[in-house]
Amino acid sequence: MMRQYELVEKVTRYNPNADEALLNRAYVYAMRAHGHQRRASGDPYFSHPLEVAAILTDLKLDDASIVVGLLHDTIEDTDTTRAEIDRLFGVEIGKLVEGVTKIDKLDLVSKKAAQAENLRKLLLAISDDVRVLLVKLADRLHNMRTLHFVPDAKRARIGEETMEIYAPLAGRMGMHDMREELENLSFKYLNPEAFEAITERLGDLREKNRDLTGEIEHALSEKLAAHGISAKVSGREKKPYSIFRKMQSRSLGFEQLSDIYAFRVIVSTVEDCYRALGIVHTTWSTVPGRFKDYISTPKPNDYRSIHTTVIGPSRQRVELQIRTDEMHRIAEYGIAAHALYKDAAGDRGNGATATTVDELGAIHLSRTKRLEKESQAYGWLRRTIELLAEGDSAEEFLEHTKLELFQDQVFCFTPKGRLIALPRGATPIDFAYAVHTDVGNTCVGCKINGKIMPLVSELSNGDEVEIVCSKAQVPPAAWESVVVTGKARSAIRRATRAAVRRQYTGLGRQILDRAFERAGKVFSEDSLKGGLPRLAHNNVEDMLAAVGRGEVAAADVIRAVYPDFQESRATGRRATPDDGWFGLKRAGSLKFRIPGRTKKKEDVRSIPIRGLKGELPVRFAPDGGAVPGDRIVGILTPGEGITIYPIHSPALKEFDNEPDRWLDVRWEVDEHDPERFPAQIHINALNEPGTLAQIAQVIGENDGNIDNVKMLKHSPDFHEMVIDLEVWDLKHLNRIIAQLRAKRVVSSATRVNG
């Protein structure tokens, strides 16, 4: 294991002004935090963050990145908290460590193929500092290097995730070496047979061409030196995965692959690149179609180099990359080479840490001064990040430069870390439906990042959303106007329709059950089947719903089933509560606020009798209302719905001759979710100053809620008035009436419809 001083030395070698004390503290802290934890290999756990830090020093990153490398698993795997890291190492490092932790929690592979691109975007969106990604890549690289210690099943998953997400990400960030190593390590675990076969063939070839690389290197350097160009020429064998990919993409066999060897010619100036190219091309014959000039036309990620293939000194195809030192550094380290370490030394002194957000809100760099100095590099960095998000081609790049990064999307997580990508403005309801239609249909509440929040909150990037479900729930129709995803909208519409239909069907069943009973006939759904053709309905459900909606009269159904049936009014009788309840099942009530709208009370209130959700064809009788504790009855009005009356209401007389329309209903009030109900009080009171105020005070003190006051008569001595108010239940209403009666100014107080 690397010693503390060795790590510090590695950093100070490229960054003489590194904060050694900070590095030392992080080393000791991480070592203690991980304590006796072990890795799958049996090594002390601390060896892992230490290796990650070492990889980051290879990339020559700033000391904050190295420290984050050391601390990156502390929040996730030890007792350490973000607050503690903030306190000991500063907020900048705290934020970075938390960023890495957040990525660790994602289960990127669960949705891999279809979402790989989304997932890469997500990584960018939530890693608002590019160093988070660099640490994450280093973390993944070390995990891949030690993957053989991990159990098989997990190995495949990690390998897949690396191949799908992290290797391409490294590539897009211009980190060629990182990409190559990640790909090869994944390849080894994902396709061990192919990996073995290619590795073996490469070994054979190496044996056969033992000195070839050296010969070609030598011949090339000689030739260039003869023309006064000093060049570093190095040959390297292609990696198994890139050979495999070539074999696949061109459907070639191993023997047919000619360019197993590639050589880099590194010179000092751009001019030398072209001179070297001229010399190579005049000395050896070129392979047509293999010449590419990425110096005059750099790749979008700023990769610059000349590529060509010639038939080399030993009659071998030789692939050449000609570039300057500077180009080489960028080609190797990509994003890491460019913006992060350069000039860090000069900045250490003033230590001004400033988190800077570019106009895309995408990247933060830590030191303002560095940004000024490196505005060019920074611009490049930003372009690269944009590009990572937008795709590969230069055209695409141009097309998208002006678009804001991820402007139209938010990425959120389930508590298990599954990613849900949603359009901007999406709510937890959209989230629930995106997880599963059943989750959406039954959701009643949510927690965002552990806090209970309204279901209509707008989600932000990185939110962890936990949906609370209740089997009894039916989505309120009004949600339709709150959600932004089509999936949620159509599911809500379907569910509402189905619920309404279910209720009508249930209602129809009750109506028929009662009507059949009165007619002295046996009711069963089976018996209805015979009558279907005569009623022009295809199935029993449809017919029941039609009865519930009042489109088909119960008597017609009886006649359809029993053609000889003679209707007799005499059998009709009014239902009483003793007939047994058939309270419509309560399905939860529509209670939420639509932001930005002022709503009337009706919008947030519903009647806990119905269960007929959505279109809610249930309402209280206009005069007097009804409150829990009242015996109530429902009156069905075909095509309109059900009106709830207190059983003693004089208005019920009107329906005496229509027993079919009477429905037994009952309250289903949820004590944990109290609602108020409408009632009216008729009051005679003295006409003197302050009377109204006293009445209002009594009601207010007793927790009644006045909706309206109507003055009926205005005589010199008395006021006669009706007060609309809302109360919890009958007891509450009676208490208020009693308190009113106790007032000297009140000569009478009675309930309307009482």
Mind telling me the catalytic residues?
76-77
Among the listed ranges 70-78, 178-186, 284-292, 362-370, the one in contact with Mn ion (CB under 5 A) is 70-78
Least spacing, CB of residue 136 vs Mn ion, in Å: 9
**CB nearer Mn ion, residue 139 or residue 302:** 139
Q: Identify the bridge partners of residue 307 per DSSP, sorted by sequence position.
A: 292, 321
Least spacing, CB of residue 380 vs Mn ion, in Å: 29
| Residue in the block written with tokens 């195809």 | 317
**CB nearer Mn ion, residue 73 or residue 129:** 73
Q: Give the rounded distance of the alpha carbon of 704 from its chain centre.
A: 43
Alpha-carbon distance 606 to 588, whole Å? 9
Burial (CB < 10 A; 0-12, 13-18, 19+), residue 144, is: buried
Least spacing, CB of residue 26 vs Mn ion, in Å: 15
**CB nearer Mn ion, residue 55 or residue 330:** 55
Least spacing, CB of residue 143 vs Mn ion, in Å: 6
Residue 73 touching Mn ion (CB under 5 A): yes
**CB nearer Mn ion, residue 134 or residue 540:** 134
Q: Which residue is nearest to Mn ion (CB)?
A: 139
Alpha-carbon distance 503 to 329, whole Å? 71
3-class state of residue 706 by DSSP:
strand
Burial (CB < 10 A; 0-12, 13-18, 19+), residue 329, is: middle
**CB nearer Mn ion, residue 143 or residue 427:** 143
Alpha-carbon distance 532 to 527, whole Å? 10
* Contact between residue 455 and residue 427 where contact means Cβ atoms under 8 Å apart: yes
**CB nearer Mn ion, residue 139 or residue 726:** 139
Cα angle value 13/14/19 (rounded, 5°): 80
Least spacing, CB of residue 361 vs Mn ion, in Å: 27
Least spacing, CB of residue 141 vs Mn ion, in Å: 10
Residue 630 touching Mn ion (CB under 5 A): no
Sign of torsion, CA 675 678 684 685?
positive
CA distances from 205 to 188, 208, 250 (A): 20, 5, 21
**CB nearer Mn ion, residue 79 or residue 602:** 79
Least spacing, CB of residue 260 vs Mn ion, in Å: 35
Sign of torsion, CA 234 237 238 241?
negative
Q: Which residues contact 408 (CB under 8 A, 6 or more apart)?
A: 423, 424
Footprint on residues 590-619 left by Mn ion (CB under 5 A): none
CA distances from 369 to 337, 345, 361 (A): 18, 12, 19
* Contact between residue 397 and residue 390 where contact means Cβ atoms under 8 Å apart: yes
Cα angle value 468/474/480 (rounded, 5°): 95
How many Cβ atoms sit within 10 Å of the Cβ of residue 148? 12
Among the listed ranges 61-69, 135-143, 352-360, 443-451, the one in contact with Mn ion (CB under 5 A) is 135-143
CA distances from 488 to 382, 430, 483 (A): 35, 6, 7
- Alpha helices, DSSP H, located in 459-539: 486-518, 525-529, 532-535
Among the listed ranges 138-146, 199-207, 370-378, 455-463, the one in contact with Mn ion (CB under 5 A) is 138-146
Burial (CB < 10 A; 0-12, 13-18, 19+), residue 357, is: exposed
Among the listed ranges 73-81, 337-345, 407-415, 445-453, the one in contact with Mn ion (CB under 5 A) is 73-81
Output phi, psi for 385, to 5 deg.
-60, -45
Alpha-carbon distance 733 to 751, whole Å? 9
Among the listed ranges 72-80, 253-261, 547-555, 603-611, the one in contact with Mn ion (CB under 5 A) is 72-80
Q: Which residues contact 534 (CB under 8 A, 6 or more apart)?
A: 560
Footprint on residues 281-320 left by Mn ion (CB under 5 A): none
Residue 63 touching Mn ion (CB under 5 A): no
Alpha-carbon distance 159 to 144, whole Å? 8
Alpha-carbon distance 307 to 292, whole Å? 5
**CB nearer Mn ion, residue 70 or residue 434:** 70
Least spacing, CB of residue 72 vs Mn ion, in Å: 6
Q: Lay out the site mask for Mn ion across 464-503 (x = CB under 5 A, - = otherwise).
A: ----------------------------------------
DSSP state of 209: T
Least spacing, CB of residue 68 vs Mn ion, in Å: 11
Q: Lay out the site mask for Mn ion across 543-562 (x = CB under 5 A, - = otherwise).
A: --------------------
Buried b / exposed e along 621-657 (16+ C-beta atoms within 10 A): beebbbbbbbbbbbbbeeeebbbbbbeebeebeebee
Task: Find, among 546, 538, 420, the residue nearest to 485 by Cα.
Answer: 420
Least spacing, CB of residue 349 vs Mn ion, in Å: 32
Task: Find, among 162, 205, 416, 401, the residue nearest to 300 by Cα.
Answer: 401
DSSP 241-280: HHHHHHHHHTT--TTT----EEEEEEESSHHHHHHHHHHH
**CB nearer Mn ion, residue 135 or residue 295:** 135
Q: Which of 51, 139, 347, 660: binder of Mn ion (CB under 5 A)?
A: 139
Count of chain residues binding Mn ion (CB under 5 A): 2
Least spacing, CB of residue 65 vs Mn ion, in Å: 14
Question: 20-34 and 47-58 helices cross at what angle (nearest 10)?
Answer: 150
How many Cβ atoms sit within 10 Å of the Cβ of residue 111? 15
* Contact between residue 464 and residue 405 where contact means Cβ atoms under 8 Å apart: no
* Contact between residue 409 and residue 361 where contact means Cβ atoms under 8 Å apart: no
Alpha-carbon distance 387 to 394, whole Å? 9
Least spacing, CB of residue 49 vs Mn ion, in Å: 7
Among the listed ranges 13-21, 133-141, 261-269, 475-483, the one in contact with Mn ion (CB under 5 A) is 133-141
Least spacing, CB of residue 59 vs Mn ion, in Å: 16
Among the listed ranges 68-76, 197-205, 292-300, 383-391, the one in contact with Mn ion (CB under 5 A) is 68-76
Alpha-carbon distance 723 to 710, whole Å? 6
**CB nearer Mn ion, residue 94 or residue 531:** 94
**CB nearer Mn ion, residue 103 or residue 499:** 103
Q: Give the rounded distance of the alpha carbon of 288 from its chain centre.
A: 49
Among the listed ranges 134-142, 389-397, 514-522, 560-568, the one in contact with Mn ion (CB under 5 A) is 134-142
Among the listed ranges 65-73, 526-534, 611-619, 695-703, the one in contact with Mn ion (CB under 5 A) is 65-73
Write out the residues near Mn ion by the rule CB under 5 A: 73, 139
